Chain A
Amino acid sequence: MKRKTFYQFTGPSIFLMLALMIFPLIMAIWLGLNYVTYYNINTPVFTGLSNYVDVLADPQFWRALQFTLLLIVICVPAQMILGFVMALFLDQIAARVRGVYLAAMLLPFIIVPVVGTMMFKQLWEPSGLLAYIYQVITGEAFFYTEKSVKALIILQTIWSATPFSLVVFFAGLQTLSPELLEAAAIDGANRRQQIRHIALAHLQPLIVFVGLISVMDTYRLFDNAFVFTQLNPIYHANTLMLYAYQVAMQVQRLDKASAMAILMVIGIMVVLVPFLISTYRSQVEER
């Protein structure tokens, strides 16, 4: 391919990347090195790395990181396992009605996250159906506590993110050759063994992909934590994104929030870069 043609094809994407990702990133780096609030936004004061020191010395930042990691540890495996199981079930359904079920299962993914969370939250309000069912079952009225809010955030995150795993795994299963399964069956493999040794092996690259995307998505979780906590500190359920928002918008420290954002980018790069390198290497090997 000629260099000119290459640039003509990639130009629009490069422009969008620069405008929407690189430029804001550079701005965030710059803001993080200055003292900037809403009140001196036109006259920032260079402060070097003091914002980064401030963030790393902030116990609330570490508490938010702790809860974010907890979410990742619980939600990512849960949504992947559920997504895989649902994909297997969907794979068994007759093709003519599959679309209906797929559409139904994708609903949580389609609904705007804030709207979905608010609907879910309303079910737990004093007049909500799930709160009523909870009261009938336990004999006690439901109300928000640190434990219940954290549990609901986890539950809602799994509910809203599982369809992504489902779609990817289901698509992967469609590419699995039936002959392979038949051959395994002839060799005496039962259903569990077929799934373990054939389906899972076939989906392995997708499992890594879904895992990484899910980790990144959960890492930057904001909507449902915001709706459930209303920034009330008694729930101790700040995610990193939520805490960064709080610092920027409530405390009005745009500089510290930017430093936090950069640290978060570095954090996710630690996970992402090895994957990108291994993907690149495997593609080179395939050539």
Chain B
Amino acid sequence: MLSRKLSVLLVVVMLATMVAACAAPTPQVIKETVKETVVVEKPVEKIVEKPVEKIVEKPVEKIVEKTVVVQATVAPTATPTRSPSDPVPGTCSVTAPAAATTVNVIGWTFPIMDFFASEMKQCNNVQNVKVDVKLLDSASAQQQVRTALAGGAKSPYAIVHGANDQVVVWSSQGWIRPIDDLVKKYWDKYDLGDIPQTAWDGATINGKIYGVPITANTLMLFYRPDLFDKYKIKVPTTYDEVIAACKVLKPETSIDLPFTINLHAGWAWSYEFLPFIRAFGGDYLNPDNTPAFNSPAGVAGLTKMKEVIDACMGPKGLTYSIDQSEIALENGRLAFAQLWASRAANMDNPAKSKFVGKINFAAAAAPKPGGPLGSTVWNDFYMIPATSSVDPELAFQIIMEATDLQSQMQAGKLGMVTRAKVGAAGVGGRYVPAANEAIAKGVGIYQKVPTNSLALNALGAWLPLAGTGELSPKDALDKAAADYTKEAKAQGFIK
């Protein structure tokens, strides 16, 4: 009897567990659907594109061909297809090496980088070339690169992905090689003058270029015009207006929160703090590497962030990651948010958003009225490790094939790319004008000093405690300064 009752009970528990596991919708599921459509298109692309590619000039040829590919693949398959706004893979025509060469690439994943990775894999069609791309989360990817390159042994990677911070630190350690020679050699072939000088500047350290700029990114406002109209709110241009809008939106029951900034982790704090401190006239570090972030400007910036948290986010908002803010907007659970431009394309993707066309974009609000906007400029780069045994010229060509004009024309549908001709051709979403304004009127790029990463760590460890009210802004900044100074001295950056 006991056995039978127990059996029934256990079966119920098991079923409940399975239902629970299946019932929780997650963003990962959606991502996988998109990846499947890429696989579906592969065989067709091989048949249609190859013969044409050799005859016709590149820029025109791709656009015409790829339209045909999309139409051809829709009919025969019943599986979910990509939307017309999704990018189409291109081709790779690097010089084949004499011996079999494996090109290992490491980076982190987000839609536009996933596309560039798929573009690199097109080079597997070249004789003797095998491209293997490993995409992780950003922290893991950076950690693997550090571990692989720190000892000075042969790099297992021929190409590494990094952002502004990594270019500075990795170049200062000699882990990545200057690529001026390759940039000069292939300047015309890959029309590298089409990439603006400001993007090259992000990868230029002491006059040497260490990376190819492949994406641009900035912080901007995503908002629901229907709610703004309902409550007669103007699109905020300052954070004081953001706070006022949050107070007005509080009674709205269809949303979980009025507004979020990404402050769910220590690292997120250290990045989001920069526009606020810069807007109040401060910066992270002094020229002699001593901390500058615990200045009155820093305190003013952090105090403003705390005001925003109290008025708009509360403790719940402090747990919202970038993904969660994006999903909340796509599901109508958030009235507005400060998010990265790289997330904007998903707002108009019916596979991801229930609010397609109903989310508008504006440049980031200014932390201080009359000051610069609360947006930074961010670039991603492909770099070549100094100790890679793969021919740097081959690695560079693979980078350029994956990020040439044709590729960036496609990638532009997923986020902001670096080539001017992509913008001139009108490729990109509705968000691009707002993103461009955010870049033009924002606080600029991060300081290009190796100690910046130490400052980010120290800030990430203490600023969250100011967000919860456990520490005052001044105390949090002073504690971060003490930690930073201790580490910077230990590592020889401060005498």
Residues of B within 8 A of A104 (CB): 10, 14
Interface residues of B in 444-462 (CB under 8 A from A): 454, 457, 460-462
- Can you report 7 A-B residue pairs in the complex whose CB atoms are below 8 A from each other? A92-B3, A93-B7, A122-B26, A123-B24, A232-B464, A234-B470, A251-B454
Is B173's CB within 8 Å of the partner chain A? yes
Q: How far is the CA of A92 from the CA of B9 in the complex (A)?
A: 14
Contact status B10-A126, CB under 8 Å: no
Segment 165-205 of A: residues with Cβ below 8 Å from B: none
Does residue A9 face the partner (Cβ distance < 8 Å to B)? no
Instruction: Other than A101-B6, A128-B24, A232-B264, give 18 A-B pairs with Cβ distance below 8 A.
Output: A38-B146, A38-B147, A38-B173, A39-B150, A42-B151, A89-B6, A92-B6, A93-B6, A94-B3, A122-B24, A123-B20, A127-B327, A129-B24, A143-B315, A233-B266, A233-B462, A249-B139, A250-B460
- Closest B residue by C-beta to A38: B150
- CA gap between A190 and B460 in the complex, in Å: 59
Contact between A41 and B25, CB atoms less than 8 A apart:
no
Minimum Cβ distance to chain B for residue A228 (Å): 11
Residue of B with least CB distance to A37:
B491
User: Total interface residues on B, using CB and 8 Å?
Assistant: 49
Interface residues of B in 148-170 (CB under 8 A from A): 150-152
How far is A145 from B468 in the complex, measured between Cα atoms in Å?
A: 10
> Is the Cβ of A141 less than 8 Å from the Cβ of B143?
no
Q: Are B465 and A230 in contact (CB under 8 A)?
A: no
CB distance from B430 to the nearest CB of A (A): 26
A253 interface hit (Cβ, 8 Å): yes
Which residues of B are in contact with A by a Cβ distance under 8 Å? 2-3, 6-7, 10, 14, 19-21, 23-26, 139, 143, 146-147, 150-152, 173, 256, 264-267, 315-316, 318-319, 321, 324, 327-328, 331, 333, 454, 457, 460-462, 464-465, 467-468, 470, 487, 490-491
Contact partners of A94 in chain B: CB under 8 A: 3
User: Within the complex, what minimum Cβ distance (angstroms) separates B5 from chain A?
Assistant: 11
Residue in A122, A231, A234, A251 whose beta carbon sits within 8 Å of that of B318 in the complex = A234
Query: Residue A125 at the B interface, CB < 8 A?
Result: yes
Please state if A141 and B7 are interface contacts (CB–CB under 8 Å): no
Question: Do B265 and A144 have beta carbons less than 8 Å apart?
Answer: no
Q: How close is A49's CB to chain B, nearest CB, in angstroms?
A: 15
Nearest A residue to B9, CB-CB? A89
Identify A129's interface contact among B6, B20, B147, CB under 8 A: B20
Q: In whole angstroms, what is the CA distance A230 to B151 when docked?
A: 28
